[in-house]
Structure 1
């Protein structure tokens, strides 16, 4: 009997000692990982902000194929939430959103040892290569978890870093696929209405047109704003002369205005007028890098439908979306117009 009492007290001392030891160990944690993704902050932010996308890039479904998700009526922005059932069930609610900058979330997990609540946070920083996104989680381990990790040898911090890295890699892959999406549609014969426009002209190598386009267009836009001119449509580019032998292009960046403008002598921005013109219209939704393919499809349509390109008129393209307002290249819309000589009845469009 004395031996049993001795063993009991010994076990009690071990339990109390272990509780004191593990209880004094710091259980707080703040684990985060970062990755630079080649995309604008808004594109990456949107991928994280909407819980419906988490099912696609989240690493947990690979670990638990039986997991099922339930979405609230609101799945993005402050107040959004979703929950899941699986080997470890839980829920998450977005508590704070600074668009394209930060997201804060409350995470609740139902573990075999009880409920766990942690804070999840995201930051999105614009860098030269794209967006530096950081995914982190902070909280405090209760005593039972500290004991379990110590006795089982489970490395909680390493496991979290691995999960974060897998998730961030998946986000990068999905975003890369998203921004590559594009579509081209040949809309057919269109009558473009023409009108007055402000423009400036330069020459560039064919592969440097996009590089020179932005500062040229900004110069025209600045002129329009400084002189309080009324814009009458979307910015456009006119291709005045294409020299394939020398690989050069003379082009003009223009902005439609409602009336003729007399500019001072020597002004780099001047006023022009476009007569109405019959064209083949091609719509591109996607990155400008697909413009060559769009022009090719337009020319194929012209040949297949018996039209003839009007070489006395200039090709031009209209930018329906502003990349500064629509960061995702997959959502950029460009209308291409190739002048033709045709007796077909066109659809009328104004400048």
Structure 2
């Protein structure tokens, strides 16, 4: 009996010692691996920014063919997520969310594993050079206050590093052999007479492409308040003019309304837009690739002998939150012509 008691006390002492030591171990663990892919950064970014491609190269997705996966309504870009559930001991259960996407540069994710209090922050950084792209996959995990998780953190790099290497190897192989590639936008062009509009507008500047969305959202919010307060009716979808084609972007956010407001406030201005002979490209794809539509218009102007008349403007025909993919979202890029 005494011997058994000593064994129990000895085991308890070891557990207590491990718990005490664990409390003083680092609260964060980090893993990072890199590889060079013989492809432009735009191609690599397009794959990483689309969660539907992950089954083709993500190592954990391939360990359990019976893994249950649930996708968000939108699977590309910021806010896209998927949840997984598996009985495989190396896969488990969790959720991955894209928290930030900067075209051609980074895709940042939040990864929450079952049993952890805080999500791990990670993602991919792209460094293009001479037509190839160095891809760095990183993860910074908050191990929380659980001593067992902190002990696990000591082996984080050793345990996950090989999976990172395997995933990057598959990503490289499948991008380079063409079996894995991003979806391409769809475009169609036609000549139209753009209708007359009465619009409330705000002029602003977005420092980078990543700032364009938040800048427009802020402007539309301000205009929306005026529309609500003065009980105006909307007569079209949100639109915006772009006065520069490179950073920083000088733009004018606008919303078409049914009548002249009694007063305007702050940055908001009102103006009439006359009907104009125009060329329009109906573009289906992510906003960051809409430059393809502008390129298409420039090529058409050159080949047709027509001349642009003023700045082009974008009409956001579809709400991205109502579509499963950004490649189903329509934007009309309209260029007035002489």
Query: TM-score with structure 1 length normalisation?
Result: 0.49
d(CA) in 1 for partners of 2:317, 2:90? 44
Aligned-pair Cα RMSD in Å = 5.3
Residue 314 (structure 2) aligns with: 317
| Structure 2 SS opposite 1:308 | coil
1:102-141 residue pairs with structure 2 within 5 A?
A: 103=83, 105-107=85-87, 120-124=92-96, 130-134=108-112
Q: 1:232 pairs with 218, 232, 235, which one?
A: 235
Whichever of the two has the greater Rg, that structure is: 1
Residue 223 (structure 1) aligns with: 226
Deviations 1:121-161 (A, max 9, x none): 113356567322245699xxxxxxxxxxxxxxxxxx99974
Alpha carbons 1:180, 1:286 under 8 Å: kept: no
Tell me the CA shift for residue 297 of structure 1: 2.0
Tell me the CA shift for residue 334 of structure 1: 2.6
Residue 306 (structure 1) aligns with: 305
d(CA) in 2 for partners of 1:165, 1:188? 47
Residue 146 (structure 1) aligns with: none
Structure 2 residue 337 is matched with structure 1 residue 340:
yes
| Structure 2 SS opposite 1:107 | coil
Q: 2:200 pairs with 198, 201, 211, which one?
A: 198
> How many residues are paired up?
244
Alpha carbons 1:190, 1:280 under 8 Å: kept: yes
d(CA) in 2 for partners of 1:98, 1:265? 39
Change beyond 3 A, Cα 1:132–1:172: farther
Is there any run of 5+ residues in structure 1 with no aligned partner, and where?
1-25, 27-31, 36-42, 64-82, 85-90, 109-116, 139-156, 342-351
Give the structure with the higher percent strand: 1
Residue 40 (structure 1) aligns with: none
Deviations 1:273-301 (A, max 9, x none): 22222211123334444344432320221
Change beyond 3 A, Cα 1:216–1:137: closer
Change beyond 3 A, Cα 1:33–1:170: farther
Alpha carbons 1:285, 1:334 under 8 Å: kept: yes
Tell me the CA shift for residue 205 of structure 1: 7.3
Alpha carbons 2:240, 2:314 under 8 Å: kept: yes
Query: TM-score with structure 2 length normalisation?
Result: 0.51
1:1-351 residue pairs with structure 2 within 5 A?
A: 47=51, 55-59=55-59, 91-93=66-68, 103=83, 105-107=85-87, 120-124=92-96, 130-134=108-112, 161=160, 164-165=163-164, 181-183=183-185, 185-202=187-204, 210=212, 212-239=215-242, 251-257=251-257, 259-264=258-263, 266-309=265-308, 311=309, 313-322=310-319, 333-341=330-338
